[in-house]
């Protein structure tokens, strides 16, 4: 889309992570070695790599039951029953990713 400055990025993080819910900041995504910094000071250095094959990212539309909390609904999504139809949307196709390793 013309005028759109956003880019989809696939990331892989290698190594132990700070606690769930920690805030993080990406720096230098347009450089050869981008950084991923967490609020506790943990820093990961990234490297662009080609993926084997093609990575495709999908989103799924589904109805949330009136009694479900978002967390319960997310847990239900981890169970995929054979032959169960799902409506999905292709969000992006990538042939590169950034692999972040602890500094």
Backbone dihedral angles phi then psi of residue 32, each to the nearest 5 degrees: -65, -25
DSSP classification of residue 42? -
Backbone dihedral angles phi then psi of residue 27, each to the nearest 5 degrees: -130, 140
**What is the value of pTM for the model shown?**
0.63
Q: Residue 75 pLDDT more than 50? A: no
> Does 3 map to a domain?
no
> Does 83 map to a domain?
yes
Instruction: Tell which wins on pLDDT, 28 or 52.
Output: 28
Question: Are 24 and 38 a contacting pair, CB within 8 Å?
Answer: yes
Other beta carbons within 10 angstroms of residue 36's beta carbon come to: 22
Number of domains in the chain: 1
- Distance of alpha carbon 92 from alpha carbon 94, whole angstroms: 7
Q: Which of 47-51, 65-69, 80-84 has the lowest mean pLDDT?
A: 65-69
> Does 6 map to a domain?
no
- Under the phi-then-psi rule, with left for phi > 0, alpha for psi from -120 to 50, and beta for the rest, what region is 27? beta
Which CATH number does the domain housing residue 94 bear? 2.60.40
> Does 33 map to a domain?
yes
- Full domain range(s) for residue 93: 11-102
> Does 43 map to a domain?
yes
Tokens linked to 59: 């989103």
> Does 1 map to a domain?
no
Using pLDDT thresholds of 50, 70 and 90, give the confidence band for residue 66: low
């Amino acid at each position: 889309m013309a005028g759109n400055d956003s880019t989809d990025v696939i990331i892989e993080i290698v190594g132990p992570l700070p606690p769930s819910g920690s805030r993080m900041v990406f720096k230098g995504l347009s450089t050869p070695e981008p950084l991923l910094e967490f609020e506790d000071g943990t820093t990961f250095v990234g490297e662009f790599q080609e993926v084997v094959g093609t990575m495709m990212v999908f989103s799924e539309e589904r109805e949330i039951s009136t009694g479900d909390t978002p967390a319960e609904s997310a847990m239900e999504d981890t169970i995929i029953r054979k032959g169960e139809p799902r409506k999905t949307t292709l969000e992006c196709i990538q042939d590169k990713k950034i692999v972040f390793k602890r500094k």
